[in-house]
Structure 1
Amino acid sequence: MTDLFTAEALAALLQVIAIDLVLAGDNAIVVGMAAAAVPLAQRRKVIFWGIAAAMGLRVFFALITTQLLAIIGLTLAGGVLLLWVCWKMFRELRSHGADEIAPDEAMDAPDPSGTVTAGVAGNAAVAAAGATTFGAAIWQIVVADVSMSLDNVLAVAGAAKEHPTILVIGLVLSVVLMGAAANMIAHVLHKHRWIGWVGLAIISYVALDMIWRGSNEVLRHMA
């Protein structure tokens, strides 16, 4: 635990917390939007299994983080992947997230099967999407979760660098936030967009740092 009490370690810890918060909120938005596209009677199941899948994938990738980071070139590939995530985040933040829906809001969204409920019934994007089957919604979430969970683990590992304690804290925190507070975080990020911009800046820095370190690693291996 002694590595926690240095300025470098504390800076890395703050980066990890910011990354976990932003990516947990983004994952919740993915779950909410997928749930809003299925008939109302199936939405609770979609939300439950969507969040469960996100938690499970985070645990899985966390368990093999050491093996992942030992692969020559993965740090570079992870940095490039995170840059793509940053581009998506930038586009979402620039559009002010007008079409974003948190899991709890999905329960009040228009029923694409024909029944319109209270709440955000005016969300035309959801209504226009048409009904999606339960299986298709789960598959959509799982595909997104694989990418986002890997992004989360690589970003946390990239920020933690040579601090294994912070790496463990970050990975545990990402699972806890996804399971217990993702819905609330999604609302906070939607209301206070500046938090998302701060998170975007931190993840961009981590991505560029990973690309730099990964490139040097590959060049050393080739030499």
Structure 2
Amino acid sequence: MMSVAAHSAPAGFGSPADIWGHILNDFSNITEPAAFAAFLQVLMIDLVLAGDNAIVVGALAAGLPAEQRKKVILIGVLAALVLRILFALIVTQLLQIVGLIMVGGLLLLWVAWKMWRELRHAGQSAGSEEVHGDENSGLRPAKSFAGAAWAVAIADVSMSLDNVLAVAGAARDHPGILIVGLIFAVALMGLAANIIAKYIERYRWIAYVGLIVIVYVAGKMVYDGWVDPQVGLGTLIA
């Protein structure tokens, strides 16, 4: 059963008091199946996509000298943190517009397809010492600091949008869980992405579980984007 607060939630996160209210409301009802499922989905999405981000950034920086490599990786992490916050503010507003939930679901299906291809066709490439697990990314490292920084920036835009779109889709009816999911994603990128990347490369099934979750969220967004009484395309046709 969908939370009433979800459909009455403002387009953005609101004031700090509103944000805290959303978090308290959702986590006081975390034992409800819908809220608990959304929370688990957000955790899995964040784990998989944070590790994926670290692998890509490390692989792109692998061809640089150690000092420049560390700078590029730091730039990649900081850019990803900022972009996740920016995209979260934008996406949570856009999902209130009729039809855009379906568009977001279709975009997320494309993300899942791209992720599936990467999992199947991963190849050996130069890895960086700073990131464990990026040796199987199949990406060619950049040959200059400027080239690596530019490639990382482009990759960060794509991967940050993927992360926020997936988390927003999973927790659309639970704004408090969405907010905590965003904070968790930021913390993972800053503190534990390297560790997660190592385990994802060692245990590939983790990435496949994450892929299944993303496909489920995308399918649900497409379905809701048609039948939702407030923002579904079906309401326009009806």
TM-score (normalised: structure 1): 0.83
Q: Are 1:180 and 2:206 matched, yes or no?
A: no
Q: Which runs of 5+ in 2 are unaligned?
A: 1-24
Counterpart of 1:50 in structure 2: which amino acid? G
Asked which structure has the greater RCO (Cα within 8 Å, sep 6+), the reply is: 1
Report if aligned partners of 2:61, 2:142 keep a CA contact under 8 Å in 1: no
- Consecutive aligned runs of 4 or more in structure 1 exceeding 6 Å deviation: none
Hey, what's the Cα distance between the residues in 2 that align with 1:100 and 1:221?
A: 51
**Alignment partner, residue 200 of structure 1:** 211
**What is aligned with 2:68?**
42
Amino-acid identity (%): 53
- Alignment-derived partner of residue 80 in structure 1: 106
The change in CA–CA distance for 1:174 and 1:196 in structure 2 (over 3 A counts) is same
Q: Is the 8 A contact 1:31 1:103 kept in 2?
A: no
Q: Deviation at 1:83? A: 1.3
User: Equivalent residue of 1:8, what SS?
Assistant: helix
Amino acid aligned to 2:193: A
* Alignment of structure 1 residues 78-157 onto 2, 5 Å: 78-95=104-121, 98-99=124-125, 101=127, 104-105=130-131, 129=140, 132-157=143-168
Q: Would you say how many aligned residue pairs link Structure 1 and Structure 2? A: 206
Over the aligned positions, Cα root-mean-square deviation in angstroms equals 2.4
| Equivalence for 1:221 | 236
Give the counterpart letter for 1:190 in structure 2: E
Contact 1:15/1:159 (<8 A) preserved: yes
- Structure 2 CA distance, aligned partners of 1:214 and 1:37? 44
Distance 2:205 2:86 in 1: 31
8 Å contact from structure 2 (residues 126, 141) kept in 1: no
Q: For the structure 1 residues 13 and 59, does the alpha-carbon distance in structure 2 shift closer, same or farther, using more than 3 Å as the test? A: same
Determine the C-alpha separation between the residues in 2 that align with 1:33 and 1:214: 37
**Can you list the C-alpha shifts for 1:8-53, whole angstroms capped at 9, x where unaligned?**
1111100110000000011111110111133444111101101110
- The TM-score, its normalising length taken from structure 2, stands at 0.78
